[in-house]
């Protein structure tokens, strides 16, 4: 009997571990040069890229230059071309020290490439690793670039990459009254799409400015499906340093709209949460000024809270969902309820309803039930644009 129990335990353990394994055979669009190099021949090229645009360990810009592709300039998103600027930090134009190419920032006041920016460009490339959350601004930069390309009659090549949170769809669908750069379209917080699929949706639903259409060419990933758990080879932004942070990000990012720290300025950003007024839980941390988090929330203040870096939700598994329990628990523990939310929360949530539901004590089950009509409609819409 004991032997049978041991065997069952080992089998269950193997199955659990298997569910958390990351695929190592995925080939992103950028690595499939034979599929897009012919489109670049004798063309003047501009790229919207950051540090994640790599082929193996070589940056896409370097690879294309080695292949004698004529690159005119680089456009950069939030966090900059090298991906080391703070969240929300304005990054100016510059010259890349390695290649000598001009780098034009498309984050801040200048979020859209102008006709002058594109005057000496024939074709555009987008290659940025996304993490599948509506408020992660790379898909907003993609939309702005698609609009610029369409307005200036330029083709846009999208080198697709896996979505590490692409195996589920969850959260409230954005109310367009709360449109912002952290939520530009009526999609749920976790949309379950790659950037290539999302671009197809932007075109297909006529969501670009004035309903214009962008001439896009998506180079899809190989050996990838939406149930594939993919380990990112390069961190996508300064405060998503590892897969635990990336897996937790869609749920933990709610704290950006509160008086609670989510670990910016620690070695576990987006993996812990806490505040000075929380009960002493046995876990504490103090946010400090660091590279990528120069002025974190609750800087230099001792915070009591919770470490989620080893929680089951920090690893990929079947049946994932947007977790509300941490946000609800934080609100319950926070001593000054009227100071818990800040004005950014409704932009992250994509509505005013979630904040009101939390304040009035609506149960998690009923909050989720309120999302279902929008999610059902979105899942049907999403299916039309999936590539995987």
Q: What is the pLDDT of residue 92?
A: 80
Domain presence at residue 380: no
Mean pLDDT value across the chain: 93
pLDDT digits (tens, 9 = 90+) for 182-204: 999 999 999 999 999 999 999 99
Looking at 160, 187, 219, the residue that finishes a domain is 219
pLDDT digits (tens, 9 = 90+) for 281-292: 899 999 999 988
Please tell me whether residues 114 and 180 are part of one structural domain: yes
The pLDDT-based confidence of 84 (bands split at 50, 70, 90) is: low
**Whole-prediction pTM:** 0.92
What range does the domain containing 303 cover?
Answer: 243-351
Domain presence at residue 358: no
How many whole angstroms separate alpha carbon 85 and alpha carbon 105? Answer: 12
358: buried, middle or exposed (CB in 10 Å: 19+, 13-18, 0-12)?
Answer: buried
Q: What is the CATH number of the domain that holds 36?
A: 3.40.50.12170
Tokens of 211: 């309903």
The DSSP letter of residue 126 is E
Q: Are strands 44-49 and 70-76 parallel, antiparallel or unpaired?
A: parallel
Strand boundaries in 106-199, DSSP class E? 123-127, 155-159, 170-173, 188-190
Q: What is the pLDDT of residue 291?
A: 87
Please tell me whether residues 281 and 211 are part of one structural domain: no
The pLDDT-based confidence of 8 (bands split at 50, 70, 90) is: very low
The CB-side HSE value for 166 (13 A sphere, CA atoms) comes to: 28
Domain presence at residue 373: no
Please tell me whether residues 173 and 265 are part of one structural domain: no
C-alpha 274 chain-centroid distance: 23
Please tell me whether residues 121 and 169 are part of one structural domain: yes
Domain presence at residue 364: no
The DSSP letter of residue 70 is E
For the CA atoms of 337, 343, 347, 350, the dihedral, rounded to the nearest 10 degrees, stands at 40
Q: Is the pLDDT of residue 143 over 80?
A: yes
Lowest mean pLDDT among 105-119, 212-226, 342-356: 105-119
pLDDT digits (tens, 9 = 90+) for 279-322: 998 999 999 999 889 999 999 999 999 999 999 999 999 999 99
Domain presence at residue 269: yes
User: Which of 320, 316, 321 lies closest to 16 in space, CA to CA?
Assistant: 316
189: helix, coil or strand?
strand
Please tell me whether residues 196 and 334 are part of one structural domain: no
Domain presence at residue 22: no
pLDDT digits (tens, 9 = 90+) for 246-261: 999 999 999 999 999 9
Q: Is the pLDDT of residue 331 over 90?
A: yes
Q: Are 221 and 28 in contact (CB under 8 A)?
A: yes
Domain presence at residue 191: yes
How many whole angstroms separate alpha carbon 30 and alpha carbon 8? Answer: 43
- Structural domain count of the chain: 2
Q: Is the pLDDT of residue 3 over 50?
A: no
Q: What is the pLDDT of residue 16?
A: 32
The pLDDT-based confidence of 7 (bands split at 50, 70, 90) is: very low
How many whole angstroms separate alpha carbon 126 and alpha carbon 140? Answer: 12
Please tell me whether residues 50 and 123 are part of one structural domain: yes
Q: Is the pLDDT of residue 79 over 90?
A: no
Tokens of 360: 């009035």
Please tell me whether residues 42 and 175 are part of one structural domain: yes
Give the H/E segment covering residue 283. none
Q: What is the pLDDT of residue 86?
A: 62
Please tell me whether residues 82 and 198 are part of one structural domain: yes
Average pLDDT for 176-181: 98
Average pLDDT for 362-378: 99
The pLDDT-based confidence of 85 (bands split at 50, 70, 90) is: low
Lowest mean pLDDT among 7-21, 77-91, 269-283: 7-21
Please tell me whether residues 306 and 206 are part of one structural domain: no
Please tell me whether residues 106 and 189 are part of one structural domain: yes
Please tell me whether residues 45 and 124 are part of one structural domain: yes
Percentage with pLDDT > 70 across the chain: 93
Q: What is the pLDDT of residue 2?
A: 38
Domain presence at residue 360: no
Please tell me whether residues 202 and 60 are part of one structural domain: yes
């Amino acid at each position: 009997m004991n032997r049978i129990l041991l065997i069952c335990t080992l089998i269950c353990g193997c199955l659990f571990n298997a569910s958390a394994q990351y695929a190592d055979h995925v080939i992103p669009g950028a690595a499939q040069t034979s599929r897009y190099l012919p489109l670049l021949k004798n063309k003047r090229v501009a790229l919207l890229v950051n540090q994640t645009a790599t082929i193996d360990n070589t940056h896409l810009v370097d690879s294309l230059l080695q292949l004698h592709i004529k690159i005119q300039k680089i456009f950069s998103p939030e966090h900059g071309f090298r991906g080391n600027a703070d969240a929300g930090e304005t990054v100016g134009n510059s010259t890349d020290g390695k290649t000598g190419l001009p780098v034009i920032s498309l984050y801040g006041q200048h979020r859209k490439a102008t006709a002058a920016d594109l005057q000496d460009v024939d074709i555009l490339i987008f290659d940025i690793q996304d993490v599948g959350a509506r408020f992660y601004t790379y898909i907003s930069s993609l939309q702005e670039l698609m609009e610029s390309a369409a307005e200036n009659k330029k083709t846009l090549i999208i080198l697709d990459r896996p979505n590490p949170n692409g195996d589920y769809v969850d959260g409230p669908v954005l109310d367009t009254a709360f449109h912002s750069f952290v939520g530009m379209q009526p999609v749920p917080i976790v949309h379950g799409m790659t950037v290539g699929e999302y671009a197809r949706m932007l075109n297909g639903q006529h969501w670009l400015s004035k309903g214009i259409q962008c001439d896009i060419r998506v180079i899809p990933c190989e050996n990838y499906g939406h149930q594939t758990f993919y380990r990112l080879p390069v961190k996508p932004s300064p405060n998503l340093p590892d897969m635990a942070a990336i897996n937790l990000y869609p749920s933990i990012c709610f704290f950006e709209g509160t008086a609670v720290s989510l670990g910016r300025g620690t070695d576990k950003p987006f993996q812990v949460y806490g505040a000075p007024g929380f009960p002493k839980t046995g876990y504490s941390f103090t946010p400090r000024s660091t590279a990528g988090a120069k002025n974190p929330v609750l800087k230099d203040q001792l915070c009591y809270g919770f470490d989620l870096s080893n929680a089951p939700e920090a690893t990929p598994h079947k049946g994932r969902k947007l977790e509300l329990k941490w946000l609800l628990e934080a609100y319950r523990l926070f001593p000054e309820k009227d100071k818990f939310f800040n004005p950014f929360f409704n932009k992250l949530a994509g509505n005013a309803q979630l904040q009101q539901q939390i304040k009035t004590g609506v149960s998690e089950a009923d909050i989720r039930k309120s999302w279902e009509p929008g999610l059902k409609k979105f899942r049907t819409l999403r299916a039309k644009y999936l590539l995987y």
